[in-house]
């Protein structure tokens, strides 16, 4: 039995999972990455690295979707698409990925 071609839905599902992984990393929630390096949980730099790895995974899948001309932007807000298009994980991405953080209420805390 031969291998079937990978579908657009397969990539979109992987992209949704990668987005969830990145968002869990941003929120410092448990991800599969924690299971790979349990001894690192006590080190503050681990959380930065965990976010970087999740961002890299997300960019890789977005890049593949772009190359294959799959529709992927619907999974993200306009601002998130702009962050992904810039490809740089900056403090702005970390602080404002969840657009609700841009509210006056958040700024006053």
pLDDT per residue as tens digits for the range 7-58:
999 999 999 999 999 999 999 888 888 787 777 777 778 888 889 999 999 9
How far apart are the C-alpha atoms of 51 and 8, rounded to whole Å?
A: 26
Domain range annotation of the chain = 8-96
How far apart are the C-alpha atoms of 103 and 44, rounded to whole Å?
A: 28
Q: Could you tell me the pTM of the whole model?
A: 0.81
User: Which pLDDT value is given to residue 2?
Assistant: 66
pLDDT per residue as tens digits for the range 53-66:
999 999 999 999 99
Could you give the 3-state DSSP secondary structure of residue 14? helix
pLDDT per residue as tens digits for the range 65-101:
999 999 999 999 999 999 999 999 999 999 999 987 5
Residue 55 has, within 13 A of its CA and on its CB side, a CA count of 21
User: Which pLDDT value is given to residue 57?
Assistant: 96
Could you give the 3-state DSSP secondary structure of residue 70? coil
Q: At CB < 8 A and 24+ separation, what contacts does 25-31 make? A: 25/50, 25/51, 25/53, 25/54, 26/51, 26/54, 26/94, 26/97, 26/98
């Amino acid at each position: 039995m031969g291998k079937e071609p990978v579908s657009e839905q397969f990539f979109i599902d992987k992209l949704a999972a990668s987005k969830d992984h990145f968002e869990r990393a941003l929120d410092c929630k448990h991800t599969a990455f924690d299971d790979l390096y349990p001894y690192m949980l006590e080190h503050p730099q681990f959380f930065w690295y965990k976010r970087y790895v999740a961002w890299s995974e997300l960019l890789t899948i977005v890049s593949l979707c772009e190359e294959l001309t799959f529709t992927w932007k619907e999974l993200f807000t306009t601002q998130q698409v702009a962050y992904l298009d810039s490809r740089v994980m900056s403090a702005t991405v970390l602080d404002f990925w969840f657009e609700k953080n841009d509210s006056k209420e958040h700024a006053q805390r």
